Amino acid sequence: MFELSFKLSELVIEALPTNSFLLSQGSLKIYYWQWLGLALVLAITFALQGLLRRLIKRLTQLYSGDKVTLEEEQLESFARPLSVALAWALMLSLVMLLSIPKAHLLIKALRLISGSVTSITGGLAAWRFVDVLSHYLEEKASLTQNKFDDMLVPLARRMMKILVIVLGLGYFLSMVTDDVYKVVAGLSIGSAVLMFAFKDSLENVFGTFTVLMDKPFELGDWITVDDVDGTVERVGFRSTRVRTFYHSVITVPNRHFISAKVDNWGSRKFRRVKTTLGLTYDTPPEKVEAFCEAVRALIREHPYTRKDYYHVYFNDFGASSLDVMLYCFLETPDWSMELRERHRLFADILSVAESLKVSFAFPSTSVYMVSPEELEHPNRPLNQQEAVKLGRELGEQIAAETMRPYGDNKPGKVKFVQQNSPLASPGGEGDG
The edge-to-edge listing of strands for the beta sheet with 222-225 is 249-253, 239-244, 228-235, 222-225, 262-264
259 and 299 assigned to the same domain: no
Please tell me the total number of residues recorded for the chain in this structure.
Answer: 432
* Residue 98 within a domain: yes
User: What per-residue confidence (pLDDT) applies to 406?
Assistant: 78
* Residue 190 within a domain: no
343 and 363 assigned to the same domain: yes
Last residue of a domain, one of 218, 250, 265: 265
Number of domains observed in the structure of the chain: 3
Over range 235-255, report the average pLDDT: 82
In 251-410, alpha helices (H): 256-259, 285-301, 335-356, 384-403
Q: Is 99 helix (H, G, I), strand (E, B) or coil?
A: coil
Dist CA 374 CA 416 (whole Å)? 47
261 and 296 assigned to the same domain: no
pLDDT at residue 18 is higher than 80: no
255 and 276 assigned to the same domain: no
* Residue 180 within a domain: no
* Residue 387 within a domain: no
Per residue in 37-80, pLDDT (tens digit) is: 777 877 877 777 778 777 877 777 676 665 556 666 667 777 77
Q: What is the pTM of this model?
A: 0.51
164 and 227 assigned to the same domain: no
Sort strands 222-225 and 271-279 into parallel, antiparallel or unpaired: unpaired
Is 366 or 322 the better-scoring residue by pLDDT? 322
Dist CA 235 CA 212 (whole Å)? 9
285 and 239 assigned to the same domain: no
Are 219 and 205 contacting, i.e. CB atoms less than 8 angstroms apart?
no
pLDDT at residue 254 is higher than 70: yes
Average pLDDT, the chain: 75
208 and 353 assigned to the same domain: no
Per residue in 311-340, pLDDT (tens digit) is: 999 999 988 899 999 999 998 877 788 899
Are 35 and 12 contacting, i.e. CB atoms less than 8 angstroms apart?
no
User: What per-residue confidence (pLDDT) applies to 2?
Assistant: 47
215 and 129 assigned to the same domain: no
* Residue 17 within a domain: yes
284 and 247 assigned to the same domain: no
If phi > 0 it is left, if psi is from -120 to 50 it is alpha, else beta; for residue 99 that is left
Provide the residue range defining the domain that includes 76: 2-172
* Residue 393 within a domain: no
167 and 128 assigned to the same domain: yes
293 and 419 assigned to the same domain: yes
Is 353 or 60 the better-scoring residue by pLDDT? 353
Task: Burial-class residue 196 by CB neighbours within 10 Å (0-12, 13-18, 19+).
Answer: exposed
* Residue 134 within a domain: yes
* Residue 323 within a domain: yes
In one letter, which amino acid is 421? S
pLDDT at residue 185 is higher than 60: no
If phi > 0 it is left, if psi is from -120 to 50 it is alpha, else beta; for residue 243 that is beta
Last residue of a domain, one of 154, 172, 190: 172
User: What per-residue confidence (pLDDT) applies to 151?
Assistant: 61
Q: How confident is the model at residue 429 (pLDDT cuts 50, 70, 90)?
A: very low
285 and 251 assigned to the same domain: no
Assign residue 257 the CATH number of its domain.
2.30.30.60
Last residue of a domain, one of 265, 281, 307: 265
